[in-house]
Amino acid sequence: MTTLFVEQSALKQERSNMFKNIDKKMMLKLALLHVVVITISNALVAIPVEIAGYKLTWAAFTFPIVILATDLTVRMLGKNIARATIAAAYPLAIIGSIAVVMLEGAPQSVALRIGFASATAYAVGTMLDVYVFQYLREKYRAWWLAPALSTVVANVIDSYTFFFVAFNNSADEYMAANWMEIAGSQTVLKIAVGLIIFLPAYGLLLKALSGKLREQ
């Protein structure tokens, strides 16, 4: 019992420390960026598309922006502010996602399910991204390795978590029948977009931001 109490106390202290000694205004700005991208992605995830015979949705082109922002946050501001940003964005992401899906005319039950699925997949995927990125950054010196591998891990977790929670045995017959294929195709495309477009963008932004910090 004593050990369990100590572990619970340590966990509470860690959660409390997450929000200490960080720039609250910066955290809120980053959280709003995350929420905007997630909300747009939720609007686009309802629009299936086929590219070269692969079933996916337009959200595959927007969500990698969140991973880019998360990796830059960890690199420039530290993992605590990255984790705090995700924690702050999570409830807002649920509300924004539900609102967008309802505005598209979906029933309330569908909107609630998709909103919860989207925000939960985002939180799980980006939190894992923070830990993978930080671990690889501390272990290896190559600037590209941490964002590249964390992008792969985060996108796999995000895609399959979202599509399973949102569409497994859902009333949408097309999505219920094809969610695994769509999740796979979406994951591949998101990783490709992340590595081909956003990894170089990460390098350029990192260089620019590092230069600005040195000038200050």
Whether 97 and 162 have beta carbons less than 8 Å apart is answered as: no
Whole-number Å distance between alpha carbons of 92 and 74: 21
- Domain assignment present for 13: no
Whole-number Å distance between alpha carbons of 20 and 81: 9
Amino acid at residue number 189:
L
> Cα–Cα distances in Å, from 164 out to 78, 99, 143, 152?
31, 21, 33, 18
- Domain assignment present for 98: yes
**Token pair for 160:** 């399959």
Residue 16: how many CB atoms within 10 A of its CB? Answer: 9
**Token pair for 61:** 């082109």
- Domain assignment present for 213: no
- Domain assignment present for 64: yes
Whole-number Å distance between alpha carbons of 166 and 118: 8
- Whole domain around residue 178: which residue ranges? 21-47+60-206
Whole-number Å distance between alpha carbons of 113 and 93: 13
**Token pair for 137:** 């950054």
Residues 12, 17, 23, 26: is their CA dihedral positive or negative?
negative
- Domain assignment present for 201: yes
The tens-digit pLDDT sequence of the chain (216 residues) is: 454 444 445 445 554 454 455 567 777 788 888 888 888 887 787 677 777 777 777 777 888 888 988 999 899 888 998 999 999 999 998 998 899 888 888 888 888 998 899 899 999 999 999 999 999 999 998 999 999 999 999 999 999 999 999 999 988 888 899 999 888 988 988 899 899 989 999 999 888 877 665 655
Whether 31 and 89 have beta carbons less than 8 Å apart is answered as: yes
Instruction: Give the total number of structural domains in the chain.
Output: 1
- DSSP letter for each residue of 154-165: HHHHHHHHHHHH
Cα–Cα–Cα angle for 125, 34, 59, rounded to 5 degrees: 70
- Domain assignment present for 39: yes
Q: Whole-prediction pTM value?
A: 0.79
- Domain assignment present for 73: yes
- Domain assignment present for 186: yes
